[in-house]
Structure 1
C-alpha cells in the first residue's frame, strides 16, 4: 500500500494499512509496536510526541506494497512512484557503476538524502540502494522538499527514509523467484532488422531470471529489555542480451518516418582515413571479398554492436546484519547495528576495437598490407620504413575475441552504536556514533590497449616472408604481435589477446558521524500557548561528520588517463527545532501548530595530496504551519531553505574523458553548420572543405569531466502547501492535494555537451564555442578531441507541481472488503538555467538530448485490492506514464534541433499488474503475480536520441523493457 502519510499514526490508519497485508497475523511482528503509539518520530522532524503528524508532504510505501509489486530491487519499486525519475539501475550496462540510486523530483540523485531509521545510510558518493535489506523494510518514507535544517547537507529535493524492522520476535524466511516472459511480435522492427540482414530476436523468450532468499530472526529477552535481531540474504539476477528483444536487436537510426539499422563505423571490415598520401581525407574500408583491397566506405558496412550488449546486468548480492537494543533503565537504552553487503555485477557490451578517430602511425612497408594498400596509403614512400598517420577503426571479431566486460564489485560496511533515554521532566536524549564505508573495485576486461595497437601497427618484414613488430626488434616489447587489420576478418584471436590489457581501478569512501540531541516538552514547565493544552516542544543538538575519499588505478589504467584522487570533508553543526501549538479546540479550529528549525554548519575541505584546504559556513532554516480546521480537514504549508555542499568527487576528482551522446554539426560530407560557425569551435577551413571532420561513431562523442576545488554550496528554497480531507478520521476515505515548488540556485553540475553544442551553433556564444577541444589533425570531437564539461556552479534548477493521493476502503459485506490507493503527480515546471543570468529551458513533457529521460506532465499509480477474507487477497495495479515530446521539437534555443517525425513523440503508456496471495496457515503465505500483465513492449527511439540511462533504443528505467515478469514467492514465519 502507498500512503500519503498525512494522518495520525492511530488505529484507523493502521487498520487501513493492514488491509493490504498479504500475510496477516504475522508471527514475526515488531517487538516495539506498543511503544510506537506512545512516542512517535515522523520523517522530516526530530520532534517527539504522541499523535505527531508530518508538516511536510510525506508518502509512505509499506512492506505490503513492496510485496505486492513482486520486485526484489528497492529502486524499481520507488521508480514506479510519480515523484521519482529513474536513475542508475540494473538495465543500464554501458557506463554503469553497478549501483542503484533514486532521483526525487528529477533534480538528481545527489540532491536526495537517503536514511536508514533516520540516520545517513552511506557516504554521499557511494550511495547504493542494493545495500538496503528489502526483506526487513517496514516502510519507506518519502518527504518532498528541503530538509537540511533537520538532517544536514544533501536534502534539497527531499528525503528517502527506510524504516527497518529492527526488533523482531520470531523467525521469518522470504523466498521469491521471477522470470521475464516476452513475445517478440513487432513486425515493423523485425522487418527493419531482417531487411538489414541481421538476426531477428527469438519469437518468444523466457529469461532474465531473478532469485531472492532472505532470513531474519529476532529474540526478546530479559523481560523485554533486550532484543537481538539478525538478518541475511542472497539475491541473483541473470543477464539478458539485447539480441533477445525486438526493440534492441540492432542500433536504430531515424530516417524521417521510419527507422533503419545503424551501427558503428568500427567494423570487422575496417575503416581507414589516411591523413596524408594519395588518398588523404578519404574514408575507406576493406573489400567484402576478403582481399587486401580498399574500397570507399559507406553505411552498408556499419557494425551492429547491439546484440551482445546487456539489457539486464548480471548481479550477485550477499547481505547480512544485526540489530541490538538493551534497555538498562528508562534513562538509558543502548542500541546498535551492523550491516554488510557484498555485491558483484557484470556489464557487457560489444567486442572492443581500434576506435576510429584515434590516429595511428602505420609503417609503409608493413608486410600485412598488399602492395596496392601500401601505395594508396604512402604513395612514393610505399615499401619504405616511413610511416603514415591514419585514422583506423577495426572491430575485433572471430574466434578468440570476447565482448568487453566490466567487473564491478562493491563491499559496504555500516556500524552504529548509540544510547538514548528519558532524563525526566519531559526531556529525552539521544547520542550515537556511526561509521560507514564503501569499497569499490572495477576491472575492465577485453578492451584494446591503444599503446599496444600502435606497436602492433609498426610492423616491418622479418626477412622470412612474415611480419615482426619494431618493438620486438628494438627490445621494448618482446610480446608484440603484428595485427592484420588490412582485410576483412583478418585480425586473429591470437592477435586480439595481445591487444587486450585489463585495467583495474579501486577506491574507498568512508563516512563518520557523531551526533547528539536533546528533545523536550516545555509544557512540563508551563511553557505553552494560552490557547493550547499541549506545551512547546524543542530539539537542540550537534553533529560532526567526516567524509573521506581515496581513488586510484593500476599502471595500465593510469596510462589510459586515470589519476589518483583523494579528499576530506569535515563539518561541525549545531541545530535546533521548535514546535508551538498555537491553539487547540478553539474558535479557529481543532488545532493550529507552528514548527521552525535551523542548522548552522562549518565546513572544512582538505586534499592531502596537494595540500589544498578551504573553509566555509552555511545556515539553513525552515518554517511550517499545520491547521486542523475541523476533524476531516487539515491545511498545511512549509518553507525550507536548504543547502548542498559540494561532495568530495565534485571538488577533487581528476579530469577524465568519456562518451556522450551528441552530434557534431561540423562533421561529415555535408556539415549542417557553416564554415564560419565551425571555425568558432576550432575547425580549420582545410578540415571543413576537405570533409576531414569525422562524425562521432554511433553518435558517441567525447566529453571531459572532472572536479572543481572552487565550488561553493548550492542552495534551495522549497515551498509546499496542501490540504488533507479525512472524513471519519480517515477510516474509509482520505484524500490529499499538495503543491510543491523547489528552486535550486547555483546548482553544482556540468553543462550538458548537447547544450554546449546547440548554444554555440545557435548563438555563436564565445563561452560555449570556447569549450570545444577539437583533434588538431581531424577537427573531430571524439577520440583525442572532446567538449569540456567539467563541474561548476551553474544557474538554477526549478520544479513545481501537484501531488494528489487518495486511500479508500469499501465494505462488501460477505464478499469482504475492497481497498483502493491512488497517487499521481501533475508537473507544472521542470526548468533549467545552464548559466547564471542566462536563458532557461523547461523539460516538462519532454525527452531527448538536453532533457534526458521522459518527463511526463502526468503520472499515476492506482491499486485496487480485494480481500474476501483475512487470508486471501487479489490486487490489481495500473501504472500510467503520460506522453512526451522530443525536446528537439521545442522552439527554445537550448533545445531546438533536428528531429525526425518517428522520434518526435512518445505515446502515453499504461502497465497493468496483478498479484494474488493466500495464507495457507499461520506460518506460511504464498503469492504469485505478474507485472506488465499484457506484455507491453517499450517504445523505440533512435539510439542517438537517448541520453543518460538510455539503453537498447529506449529508456529502461522508465518503461518495462523485458516484457511480462512473472513471480512466485513464499513467506514462512515462526
Structure 2
C-alpha cells in the first residue's frame, strides 16, 4: 500500500458502523496500491446503491450471488466495512471490527472469562450456527469449530455482511445471513503494519466500591494504564515469469495482556441482589474462604458455617464477610483474558492461459489463552476425629465426641487468591483452498475449487482429581510428622483446620492436568459456472443486458472428533466421540433485467435462485429458494425486495445432542416433581404440604388424579424421600430435523441528483424460523409446563412411569420415568427491524473534503414463540428472563472525517450510540415475565450510552504513515448491572459485549513500505 495515499483511510472511515446496504467487491489494483479517498468514497456509494463503479472491463462479484457481471445491482441489503474503516478503529482482532455493527450480536471473547478463545459471529442475535462465514466467497470452516480469529485485521480488504437468508446461494447455515471476509491477496512489495493499544481508565468509586471494601476486598481509585495489545504484520508479494505468477504471504503476531477484574472499580466484587428489590451485596456464592470454610453435616452444629480463625489459633469463627474470612471468589477472573496468537499464510495465482488461472491459498494459526478459576478444594468428605491437626474445640464443633471415629463435613477451601490455576486453551487451525477458474468464450466463466479446513483445540482444565481430596484430609501421624492414613501414592496431608494453606505440593496433588482434544474438519468441493445469455440474444426487448445464469454443485463433509486422556476422563467423565455428516447440493441462479433506461423505468429486474440439498443425517432432501426484485423509476430512486426460503440442517454436534442418550438419575439440584408434596424440614421433623402444580397441570403430564400429591412421587433416588435429590433427566434419543426460515427484506435507496454526494437507504427485514433447532435443558419443559398451565407442547417433555407416575428408577435405558432435555426442534424464532444508512461527501474548495457516514438499526422484534399456545416473546430492548440477545431497540454509528486536499492528514470523529436496555421484569409484557409482582424498583434499566472515537492519520513520508487513535475518548464507564452472570455470562457487573467496559482505549499504529 502506498503510504502517500494511505492517509485517505480516515477520510472515509465509516468504520465501525458502516452502511447497511449492498456492497460490491472493491477492485484491488495489481500493484497493491490502496484506494484513494475518492475511490473509497465511490466504493461506499456503490455499496449503498449496489451499482459498482466499473468501466465494464472487469467483472465484479457481489456477496449474496455467484453471478459475475459488470454493473450488477444487488436486491439484498449488505453492510460493508472497508480496510480504511478497520485501520481507523485500530482493531486488533475481527471481533473488534464486527462488534460495532448493529446487525451483529456483539460478542466479547476477550472479556469473557469462560471463553475458549474462539471468536464466532451471530447475525441478528440468531446464533453462530445460523451465520455462514466465508473467506473470499468460500466457507471458513466447520460450523462447530470455526474461529474467525484466523483472520488478521491487517489482512482485510473489506468485510461484507448480508443479513437474511442466503441458503439458495451458499447452502445450509446461511439462515441469519452471510459474513464474507475479502482478503488482500494481490500485494506487491514489502509492508510492515504495527499497532499497539492500551486502556487508560480513571477508576472512580461506584456502587460496588463501598460494598467491596466492607467485605474486605479492594476497589481501586485513580488512573490505570493496562491491557496492552500488540499487533504486527509483515506482508510481502511479487510477480514472476512475466507477471504470470503472483505470490504473496504474511506473518502476523498478536499478544494481549491480562486485565484482572479487581483492576476496575465496577468489579471489586460480584454484585448480587438476593431477593426481589432487596439490598445489593457482594456475592459470596459459591461460598469459599482462604481460611477454609467448613460446614458440619452432623451433630449439634449441622448446617453451620465455620472458618478457621485467621489469627493462627486453632478455633473456628462464624463465616461472614471481612478480611481473612470470606474470599473474593472471582478475584482471579480476568476482565481481559491473556492470549497470544500467531497467524501465517500465503496466496498464489498462475496464469495458465489468457482465460485460465490456477489459484491457491493457505492460512495457519496458533492461539493460546488462559482462563483463571479459583483453586478450591471442595466437596463432601469424612474427617477422622483422630486427625492430628484438629484441636479440641474444633473437634467438638464438627461433631466429634465419645465413640465417634469420623464425621461428615462439606469443605470449601480457597487455596490462596494468588494460586488460582488456569484452564488453558490452545487453538490451532489450517485452511487451504485451491482450484482453477477462467472463461470460456465471451459468455461463460467457471470456477472449480475447494476448501480444506481443520481446527484443533487442546483444552487443559484445572481438574480436581477424584478421591484425592478425601485421601488428603484423612490425616494420621502427628502434627509434626503428618501422614496420609490411606497410604495412597503421592498423597500430601491437608491441614484443613488452619487458615492460609497454600502448599504447592498439596495443590499439585489435588488438581490434575488432564487434556481434552477437539478436532473439526471440513472438506468442501465446488463447481460453479456462470453465463451471460445475452451473448446469445436472450435479452428482454426493453433491456440492454441479457439473462444471466449461474449453475453450481457442491460436496461437503463435516466432521468433529473428541479425545481425552485418562486424567481428564477420571475427573470429568464422558466418552470419546467421532461425528460426521456429508451433503450433496446443486443450485441455479438467474438474473433477468426486464426494462432498462426507459421513462418511469430506469431499471426493472428480477432475480431467482433454487438449491436442493441432501444430508447424510436426514433421509429426506430439502430445497431452498429466493425471489428478488429491483425497480428504479428514475436513477435517483430504487426500490428493492428479496424473499428467501432458507433451511439449516443440524450440525454434527446438534445431531449428537439430539440422538445420543445420556441418563442422569437424580442429579443433585435437578427438578423435584412439582406434583409431589412440598417438603419442609423443621425442628419438629419433616412436614408435607400441597404440590406446587395444580391437578390440571399434573394431569397434563400423564399423572392420574389419584396419585396427585402422593409421597411416592418424591424423587429420592436412594435418599430419604425429602425432595432433596432430583428426578431423572434423559438427554437425547430424539430426531433433529432441519429448521426452515422465511426471510423478507424491502428497501428504498435514494441518490438525489440535486444533492450531489448524498446517498440514503432504508431496509425493512423480517426473519422467521419455523421448527427451530436448539438445545433445551429439562427446565424448558418443567417451567413451561407449569407456567403455561398444562400446555402439551411443554408437558410432553415430562415422561412418567406408567402406573406409578414416578420420574425415577427407570435405569440407563429407560423409555419412561424421566424429564427430557437435549437438542430438538421447538417452535419459532423471530427477528424484525429496520436498517438505515446514509453517506454524504462534501468537497471544500481548496481546503479538503468532509465525509459523513451513518449506519443505524431499529429492532422491532427479537425473540419467538415457545409453542402454538404461547404468546410471542419480544425481547427487543430487554434483558433477563431468557432475553439473552441483549438487543437495544436502536443503535447507530455516525462518522465524520476531514481530509486535507493533499491527503497528507485526516481527522475522523465517530459517534457510537447504544440504546437503553430494560429488565424484562419491568417490560409490562407477561410473555417475558413483565408482571406487576415481578417489577423491580431499582437497577432495572441501563441508560442509553454514547461513545466517541477520535482518529488522526499523518502521511509523514511516502513510505511511512502514523496513526493516533482514541476509542471511547471521554473514558465513559460501563453501566452497573447486578447479577450480571445471569444476563451476560460475565462476572464484571456489566454487559461487556455491548459496552466499552474497560474504559478509554489509546492506540498508535504505523505502516511502513520498503
Measured against the shorter chain, the TM-score band is 0.7 to 0.9
Task: Judge conservation of contact 1:940–1:954 (CA < 8 Å) in 2.
Answer: yes
Counterparts of 1:38-49 in structure 2 under 5 Å? Answer: 38-49=58-69
Residue 509 of structure 1 deviates from its aligned partner by 0.8
SS at match of 2:616: strand
Q: Identify the residue that residue 47 of structure 2 maps to in structure 1.
A: none
1:88–1:711 distance in 2 versus 1, CA, 3 Å: farther
Q: Identify the residue that residue 226 of structure 1 maps to in structure 2.
A: 245
1:464–1:251 distance in 2 versus 1, CA, 3 Å: closer
> What is the rounded CA distance, in whole Å, between the counterparts of 1:877 and 1:110 in structure 2?
32
1:880 to 913, 916, 935: 913
Task: Judge conservation of contact 1:675–1:685 (CA < 8 Å) in 2.
Answer: no
Counterparts of 1:526-537 in structure 2 under 5 Å? Answer: 526-537=537-548
> What is the rounded CA distance, in whole Å, between the counterparts of 2:295 and 2:975 in structure 1?
37
Is structure 2 residue 873 aligned with structure 1 residue 850? no
1:87 to 94, 107, 112: 107
Task: Judge conservation of contact 1:722–1:737 (CA < 8 Å) in 2.
Answer: yes
> What is the rounded CA distance, in whole Å, between the counterparts of 1:509 and 1:274 in structure 2?
47
Is structure 2 residue 912 aligned with structure 1 residue 901? no
Q: Say which is worse superposed, 236-245 or 200-209, in terms of deviation.
A: 200-209
Is structure 2 residue 495 aligned with structure 1 residue 484? yes
Q: Identify the residue that residue 426 of structure 2 maps to in structure 1.
A: 409
Q: Say which is worse superposed, 314-323 or 580-589, in terms of deviation.
A: 580-589
2:514 to 503, 509, 519: 503
Is structure 2 residue 774 aligned with structure 1 residue 746? no
1:88–1:578 distance in 2 versus 1, CA, 3 Å: same
SS at match of 1:810: strand
1:877–1:693 distance in 2 versus 1, CA, 3 Å: farther
> What is the rounded CA distance, in whole Å, between the counterparts of 1:667 and 1:206 in structure 2?
54
SS at match of 1:677: coil
1:704–1:164 distance in 2 versus 1, CA, 3 Å: farther
Q: Identify the residue that residue 739 of structure 2 maps to in structure 1.
A: 714
> What is the rounded CA distance, in whole Å, between the counterparts of 1:645 and 1:48 in structure 2?
28
Task: Judge conservation of contact 1:794–1:836 (CA < 8 Å) in 2.
Answer: no
Task: Judge conservation of contact 1:364–1:382 (CA < 8 Å) in 2.
Answer: no
Q: Say which is worse superposed, 884-893 or 425-434, in terms of deviation.
A: 884-893
> What is the rounded CA distance, in whole Å, between the counterparts of 2:260 and 2:641 in structure 1?
49
CA deviation string 1:257-283 (max 9, x = no partner): 863222231223434444444444444
Is structure 2 residue 479 aligned with structure 1 residue 468? no
> What is the rounded CA distance, in whole Å, between the counterparts of 1:656 and 1:344 in structure 2?
34
Q: Identify the residue that residue 585 of structure 2 maps to in structure 1.
A: 573
Counterparts of 1:713-732 in structure 2 under 5 Å? Answer: 713-728=738-753, 732=757
Q: Identify the residue that residue 623 of structure 2 maps to in structure 1.
A: 619
> What is the rounded CA distance, in whole Å, between the counterparts of 1:578 and 1:686 in structure 2?
62
Q: Identify the residue that residue 812 of structure 1 maps to in structure 2.
A: 844
Residue 290 of structure 1 deviates from its aligned partner by 4.6
Is structure 2 residue 644 aligned with structure 1 residue 640? yes
Residue 744 of structure 1 deviates from its aligned partner by 1.3
Residue 729 of structure 1 deviates from its aligned partner by 10
CA deviation string 1:221-271 (max 9, x = no partner): 344332111111111111111111011111112374863222231223434
Q: Identify the residue that residue 186 of structure 2 maps to in structure 1.
A: 167
Gaps of 5+ in 1: 23-31, 606-613, 695-700, 777-785
Q: Identify the residue that residue 734 of structure 1 maps to in structure 2.
A: 759
Counterparts of 1:256-405 in structure 2 under 5 Å? Answer: 256=277, 259-264=280-285, 265-287=287-309, 289-294=311-316, 297-298=319-320, 302-349=326-373, 351-355=374-378, 358-378=379-399, 382-384=403-405, 387-397=406-416, 402-405=419-422
1:667–1:939 distance in 2 versus 1, CA, 3 Å: farther
CA deviation string 1:155-183 (max 9, x = no partner): 01100000111111222211111111000
Task: Judge conservation of contact 2:715–2:727 (CA < 8 Å) in 1.
Answer: no
Residue 754 of structure 1 deviates from its aligned partner by 7.3
Q: Identify the residue that residue 549 of structure 1 maps to in structure 2.
A: 560
Q: Identify the residue that residue 946 of structure 1 maps to in structure 2.
A: 982
Task: Judge conservation of contact 1:266–1:354 (CA < 8 Å) in 2.
Answer: no
Is structure 2 residue 100 aligned with structure 1 residue 73? no
Residue 523 of structure 1 deviates from its aligned partner by 1.3
> What is the rounded CA distance, in whole Å, between the counterparts of 1:201 and 1:789 in structure 2?
44
> What is the rounded CA distance, in whole Å, between the counterparts of 1:506 and 1:576 in structure 2?
40
> What is the rounded CA distance, in whole Å, between the counterparts of 1:287 and 1:761 in structure 2?
46
Q: Say which is worse superposed, 214-223 or 134-143, in terms of deviation.
A: 214-223
1:828 to 851, 860, 865: 860
Q: Identify the residue that residue 427 of structure 1 maps to in structure 2.
A: 444
SS at match of 1:107: coil
> What is the rounded CA distance, in whole Å, between the counterparts of 2:690 and 2:338 in structure 1?
47
> What is the rounded CA distance, in whole Å, between the counterparts of 2:980 and 2:922 in structure 1?
15
Residue 723 of structure 1 deviates from its aligned partner by 0.3
**TM score, norm. by length of structure 2:** 0.84
Q: Identify the residue that residue 696 of structure 2 maps to in structure 1.
A: none
> What is the rounded CA distance, in whole Å, between the counterparts of 2:218 and 2:728 in structure 1?
33
CA deviation string 1:170-217 (max 9, x = no partner): 222111111110000135432232233221224221000011111112
> What is the rounded CA distance, in whole Å, between the counterparts of 2:873 and 2:411 in structure 1?
39
> What is the rounded CA distance, in whole Å, between the counterparts of 2:141 and 2:245 in structure 1?
27
2:832 to 792, 800, 803: 800
Residue 951 of structure 1 deviates from its aligned partner by 3.6
Task: Judge conservation of contact 1:362–1:457 (CA < 8 Å) in 2.
Answer: yes
Residue 690 of structure 1 deviates from its aligned partner by 13
Residue 444 of structure 1 deviates from its aligned partner by 1.6
> What is the rounded CA distance, in whole Å, between the counterparts of 1:110 and 1:633 in structure 2?
36
Residue 532 of structure 1 deviates from its aligned partner by 1.6
> What is the rounded CA distance, in whole Å, between the counterparts of 2:24 and 2:560 in structure 1?
42
Q: Identify the residue that residue 936 of structure 1 maps to in structure 2.
A: 972
CA deviation string 1:103-129 (max 9, x = no partner): 110111111111000000121111211
Task: Judge conservation of contact 1:259–1:902 (CA < 8 Å) in 2.
Answer: no
1:44–1:702 distance in 2 versus 1, CA, 3 Å: farther
Q: Identify the residue that residue 585 of structure 1 maps to in structure 2.
A: 597
> What is the rounded CA distance, in whole Å, between the counterparts of 2:727 and 2:967 in structure 1?
38
Q: Say which is worse superposed, 866-875 or 137-146, in terms of deviation.
A: 866-875
Task: Judge conservation of contact 2:875–2:928 (CA < 8 Å) in 1.
Answer: no
> What is the rounded CA distance, in whole Å, between the counterparts of 1:469 and 1:336 in structure 2?
62
**TM score, norm. by length of structure 1:** 0.87
Residue 427 of structure 1 deviates from its aligned partner by 1.0
SS at match of 1:503: coil
> What is the rounded CA distance, in whole Å, between the counterparts of 1:839 and 1:291 in structure 2?
61
> What is the rounded CA distance, in whole Å, between the counterparts of 1:706 and 1:340 in structure 2?
37
Q: Say which is worse superposed, 684-693 or 165-174, in terms of deviation.
A: 684-693
SS at match of 2:60: coil
> What is the rounded CA distance, in whole Å, between the counterparts of 2:656 and 2:448 in structure 1?
32
Gaps of 5+ in 2: 1-13, 28-33, 44-51, 683-687, 694-708, 801-805, 809-817
